[in-house]
Amino acid sequence: MEGFLFYTDSLYLRAIINHKSIGMKKLFVLNIIALILISCSTAYENTEVNSRGGQILSGENKGGDYKFGSMEMANLSISFSKAFTNQDYSFVTEENFTKTMYFYPEKGLDRIELELAQGIEIMKGMHEPYDSITRSIYDVVPIVPSYDKTLTIVMFPFTEKRYRKNGEVETFRFLERHYIKNGKIIGLRKYSQE
């Protein structure tokens, strides 16, 4: 005996089938979305990031490259820059520098070798004609060359304003490269926009 609920033309039976069909469509769409998300996630996880880059174009290390260095070394350089502008010479110690260091000034190609005490005197001389010096650093990039994993080169461009004692203001753009070996500054090069 077929009851009125189970006739093939029954409204009740059609409602059940239609309801199941809608539920299956929703389940199918959810499964497709889940597969897409899993595929995207897996593809991203398998992508390898190249942490080496750049190239040394001349000199005995020609063909070498770089990897990013630590922010600890970058912060050491930025701290030295701030100490210079604030005339905080207590920062220039063997804790942060080697006993001797080198300096390439922005004008001239000659390398100057100096002891820490001489370095402090040069910095004081650089401040002599000015009331104050300020720097606005744009960014900082620490890199480690492939030829020496104990060396970090920290580069940062900045605008320097020098306030003369007579009221004049001088504005310069520089790039400094600090050379840090085993956590201590061993030298620096200063490049001018001029």
pLDDT digits (tens, 9 = 90+) for 127-147: 999 999 999 999 999 999 999
Tokens 């010479």, located at residue: 89
**DSSP H or E stretch at residue 52:** strand 52-53
pLDDT band at 11 (very low <50, low <70, confident <90, very high): low
Residue 22, pLDDT > 70, answer: no
If you average pLDDT over residues 79-91, what whole number do you get? 94
Which pLDDT score is estimated for 17? 55
Residue 31, pLDDT > 90, answer: no
Which pLDDT score is estimated for 131? 94
Cβ count near 17 (within 10 Å): 10
Residue 185, pLDDT > 70, answer: yes
**Quick one: which of 186, 185, 188, 194 has its CA closest to 160?**
194
Which pLDDT score is estimated for 44? 47
| pTM assigned to the model | 0.72
Which pLDDT score is estimated for 32? 72
Rounded Cα distance between 154 and 144, Å, is 9
Sign, CA dihedral 124-126-127-132, equals negative
pLDDT band at 59 (very low <50, low <70, confident <90, very high): very high
Rounded Cα distance between 163 and 194, Å, is 19
Residue 19, pLDDT > 90, answer: no
Determine the straight-line distance between the first and last CA of the chain, rounded to whole angstroms: 102
> What's the token pair of residue 125?
């001389």
* pLDDT per residue as tens digits for the range 148-177: 999 999 999 999 999 999 999 999 999 999
If you average pLDDT over residues 112-118, what whole number do you get? 92
Residue 6, pLDDT > 60, answer: no
**Quick one: which of 110, 99, 122 has its CA closest to 189?**
110
Nearest 5°: the CA angle 35, 36, 40 is 115
> What's the token pair of residue 101?
């260091």
- 80 burial level (CB within 10 Å; 0-12, 13-18, 19+): buried
Q: What is the largest CA-CA distance in the chain?
A: 113
Which pLDDT score is estimated for 20? 56
**Range with lowest mean pLDDT among 24-38, 84-98, 158-172:** 24-38
Tokens 């299956």, located at residue: 24
Contact assessment for residue 105 and residue 125, using Cβ atoms and an 8 Å cutoff: no
Rounded Cα distance between 105 and 119, Å, is 12
